[in-house]
Amino acid sequence: MVAVFKSIDIPRRRALVVDDSRIARHVLSGILDRLDFDVEAVDSAEAALDRL
């Protein structure tokens, strides 16, 4: 049996990373980017609320 897949346009998932640790933001953003997320990272809850 042969499976045939149609090409479909799936929008990239989005993630907002919020952490006061620059290293934590960098690591998590990198992981999510490799999982094909569109990532934005900020360092505070206030900055995150501005992005929503």
> Is 6 inside any structural domain?
no
Task: Tell me whether residue 18 is in a domain.
Answer: yes
Task: Give the pTM.
Answer: 0.74
Does 44 map to a domain? yes
Q: How confident is the model over 21-42, as a mean pLDDT? A: 96
Number of domains in the chain: 1
Domain that holds residue 23: 13-51
Averaged pLDDT, 3-29: 85
Total length of the chain: 52
31-47 in b/e burial notation, b at 16+ Cβ within 10 A? Answer: ebeeeebebebbeeeee
H/E run at residue 39:
strand 37-42
Q: Is residue 32 part of a domain?
A: yes
Identify the CA nearest to 48 among candidates 13, 5, 16, 12.
16
The answer to the question of residue 5 being in a domain is no
Would you say residue 26 lies in a domain?
Answer: yes
CA atoms within 13 A on the CB side of 38: 5
